[in-house]
Amino acid sequence: MAFDIDMIKEVYATMGERVDIARKLVGKPLTLAEKILYSHLWDGNPSKVFQRGKDYVDFAPDRIACQDATAQMALLQFMQAGKPKVAVPTTVHCDHLIQAKSGAAVDLKSANSSSAEVFNFLESVSNKYGIGFWKPGAGIIHQVVLENYAFPGGMMIGTDSHTVNAGGLGMVAIGVGGADAVDVMAGMAWELKFPKLIGVKLTGTISGWTAPKDVILKVAEILTVKGGTGAIVEYFGPGAKALSCTGKGTICNMGAEIGATTSTFGYDESMERYLRATERADIADAANAVKEHLTADDEVYANPEQYFDQVIEINLSELGPLLNGPFTPDLSTQIGNSMTEKATQNEWPIQVEWGLIGSCTNSSYEDLSRASSIAQQALDKGLKMKAELGINPGSEQVRYTAERDGILGIFEELDAKIFTNACGPCIGQWARYSDPKNAPKNSIVHSFNRNFAKRADGNPNTHAFVASPEITAAIAIAGRLDFNPLTDTLINENGEEVKFDEPTGWELPPKGFEVEDAGFIAPMENGSGVEVVVAPTSERLQLLEPFVPIQTEDLQGVKLLIKAFGKCTTDHISMAGPWLRYRGHLDNIANNTLIGAVNAYNKKTNFVKNQLTGEYGGVPDTQRAYKAEGIKSIVVGDHNYGEGSSREHAAMQPRHLGVAAVLVKSFARIHETNLKKQGMLGLTFVNESDYDLIQEDDTFNFVDIASFAPGTPLTLEVIHTDETKDTIMANHTYNQSQIDWFNEGSALNVIKKENA
């Protein structure tokens, strides 16, 4: 149904030769990450050595996966490319737009009604362009990908940061912005800075209450939320081999929480077992035939310090269960007494109100079965739940099998809510409160990956702690943050003291996976006749119009829209939260453009001077006033402008509203590229101090834009209200094809022209 064995065999057919060439070029044994990277170069066989952390390299990913929140704008853009089909196998997964409230049946029905037009749009675009569609309720993107598409040695990209989950099946899988995914869908290369390499050696054996989750909670403690930035983390050693495939997925999944580009494991028997259990024996056979290329060379793991930029060693026999949080996933605490102490010192509520098991991180059959063994003990030992419990199975296949095997029934006997197979509380889709902003201080424990303030329920006073599913279950039953099931006892309904035994479970279902309707809809062979309907009155979806090129004359008399002060991330440029709803409607979401940016002249947000009226107002309104008069504008910013997520909305919205240029001290590179892709000018001050010359009423003339060329700075005349002027120089990094994007109005316009 879902995977493409021929494509995988093609990858394996060339892998050996490419790895051999790369090994000779590099002049030493290769890590797994290097093998996968060098065998997925856009230009085919490797011909040079890339500098880790320095060189930008063009890659050819094998697959793309998109979730429903990000797929909307990605597909709207792809429709502009004029291609009949996606160039690379692609799937869309409806998992983010389903709110958890009453339980799966009711919640799914309600989402199918409230987001019907978005789901219908995604389904029809998928059908038209050859994209596999996983309907609402089919499961969480990364669990579904692991079950159906991930394969050892492959490379995939996905429009979601936890795409990295597929490293559990030996892939290099990386989260990207929609614009990058669109390039690859349209048949272009995908560019990435060649990552640095971190090796994590796992020795000893995991046992008892310790779970794969604790491995990544420990790694997060060691590396912190920034420690993996720009690196691929490769796990190896006897402890790694002994972990289940879905457990490896959990570890790779939370690599996103340490900022890693991705994480991966070498191919081993656990992966083979998982492939066979998920009816992909032919992939397992194909992988077995090339298995020496699907893991690092022996010498690498024998002397890791010589081959990785950093090496960490963790002895799993000494690792105990951890609770990370609140508000950050790298703040680790050993369960039990250490938590009593820390919680008291920091005034974290000891009482736990909810335990949540699920999310793409921990919603496998193994996760549910181990947590259910704790739930079963609560029933057997006469314990009542002290906190509420919610479960989001990772996929319909997991849910159906877990129901068949009585696992869900155990949770239900404890009055747990079984939510839809979807993200739910993990992405704030949780109707916990009617007024979350004013909700009380409380603690929750979950098996998710992110625990930032407000993430799950919108309540800034919710202290969320991250743990393994089995620890989450035990703590929810005990209702205390500092409960240690290894040592502590509980008093049951009869007043007796009882203690939990160690959790037990199954790596894979003993009777095999089963499902009636997995929720997959294959696209038509020829979708050219499929009509994609978007109502012109829709407030959530809007078909895109090609951007009109910015002309030389447009760049004379350009007004300053805002001089942003300090940090200006993609969240400041295009806020998330309630605006998620408009991700598929450019004009509506443009109403949040730069509303989080601080105006350098008054230090206020969303309060800038309209140079036409002299009045102050919101940034989008002011910009719309310029647009109405046919006047282009410029945004000035500080260092690392556009850092944060790679969302292309942060470039598309200003472009849509008529901003022509962004001039800053420095850019976050992905945002700079996104500006280029949308046909705008992304410029940096040659002299950073010129930032201080820019005044509130300034008008800009781009005097030499007609001779815009690679490597040549642009000259800007800045005219102040007192009629004095300054001439400033602006650097740019446009190459000739990127200048073509500017001249044609956008990268998509260029692709479309090439296809015409």
Task: Return the amino acid letter for 707.
Answer: S
Distances (CA, A) of 198 to 233, 271, 298, 307: 5, 22, 17, 9
Span from 55-63, 139-147, 261-269, 281-289 in contact with ligand F3S (CB under 6 A): 139-147
Q: Which residue's CB is nearer to ligand F3S, number 81 or number 518? A: 518
Concerning whether 574 is annotated as a catalytic residue, the answer is no
End-to-end, the C-alpha distance of the chain in Å comes to 33
* DSSP bridge partners of 395: 139
Q: How far is the CB of 422 from ligand F3S (least distance, A)?
A: 8
Give yes or no for a contact between 178 and 68, defined as CB atoms under 8 angstroms apart: no
Residue 160 contacts ligand F3S per CB under 6 A = yes
The least distance separating ligand F3S from the CB of residue 728, rounded to whole angstroms, comes to 43
Contact 152, 172 (CB under 8 A): no
d(CA 631, CA 263): 47
| Neighbouring C-alpha atoms within 13 Å toward the C-beta of 23 | 16
> Which listed range, 1-9, 140-148, 486-494, 565-573, lies at the site for ligand F3S (CB under 6 A)?
140-148
Catalytic residue among 62, 68, 107, 160: 160
- 140 scored as a contact of ligand F3S (CB under 6 A): yes
User: Least distance in Å: CB of 362 to ligand F3S?
Assistant: 10
Q: Which of 93, 96, 446, 455 is catalytic?
A: 96
Task: List the catalytic residue out of 18, 293, 450, 649.
Answer: 450
40: annotated active-site residue = no
Residue 614 burial (10 A CB sphere; 0-12, 13-18, 19+): exposed
Is 645 a residue of the active site? yes
Tokens of 735: 């190459």
Is 23 part of the annotated catalytic residue set?
Answer: no
Does residue number 162 form part of the binding site for ligand F3S (CB under 6 A)?
yes
For residue 496, report the phi and psi dihedrals to the nearest 5 degrees: -95, 150
Strand stretches in 169-275, DSSP E: 172-175, 190-193, 196-203, 231-236, 262-265
Q: Which amino acid is at 172?
A: V
**Strands 310-315 and 196-203: what pairing?**
parallel
Task: Say which of 645, 646, 655, 698 is annotated catalytic.
Answer: 645
Q: Which stretch binds ligand F3S (CB under 6 A): 137-145, 175-183, 197-205, 374-382?
A: 137-145
Query: Minimum distance from CB of 359 to ligand F3S (Å)?
Result: 4
47 has catalytic annotation: no
Is 95 marked active-site?
Answer: yes
Distance of CA 351 to the CA centre of its chain: 31
Instruction: Label residue 726 exposed, middle or buried (CB < 10 Å: 0-12, 13-18, 19+).
Output: middle
Stretch 360-379: interaction string toward ligand F3S, x if CB under 6 A: x-------------------
Question: Binding to ligand F3S by residue 573, rule CB under 6 A?
Answer: no
Buried b (16+ CB within 10 A) or exposed e, 56-92: ebebbbbbbbbbbbbbbbbbbbbbbbebeebbbbbbb
Query: In the range 333-362, which residues lie near ligand F3S by CB under 6 A?
Result: 359-360
Q: How far is the CB of 392 from ligand F3S (least distance, A)?
A: 8
Is residue 388 part of the contact set for ligand F3S (CB under 6 A)? no
The residue among 332 and 421 lying less far from ligand F3S, judged by its C-beta, is 421
Binds ligand F3S by CB under 6 A, chosen from 100, 141, 300, 316:
141
Site for ligand F3S in 195-234 (CB under 6 A): none
Helices (H), 553-615: 570-573, 586-589
**Among 60, 166, 426, 631, contact with ligand F3S (rule: CB under 6 A):** 426
97 lies in the site for ligand F3S, by CB under 6 A: no
Q: Which of 370, 585, 647, 649 is catalytic?
A: 647
Report the half-sphere exposure of 531 (CA within 13 A, side-chain side): 3
Size of the site for ligand F3S (CB under 6 A): 13
> In angstroms, rounded to a whole number, what is the distance separating the alpha carbons of residues 65 and 144?
10
Question: What's the CA gap between 222 and 235, in Å, rounded?
Answer: 15
By CB under 6 A, residue 150 contacts ligand F3S: no
Instruction: Give whichever of 469 and 479 is closer to ligand F3S, judged by the CB atom.
Output: 469
Q: What's the per-residue H, E or C state across 19-37? A: HHHHHHHHCCCCCHHHHHH
Smallest separation (angstroms) from ligand F3S to the CB of 259: 15
Does 70 participate in binding ligand F3S (rule CB under 6 A)?
Answer: no
> Which one, 135 or 142, has the nearer CB to ligand F3S?
142
List, by residue number, the catalytic residues. 95-96, 160, 450, 645, 647
Residues that bind ligand F3S (CB under 6 A): 95-96, 140-142, 160, 162, 359-360, 423, 426-427, 449
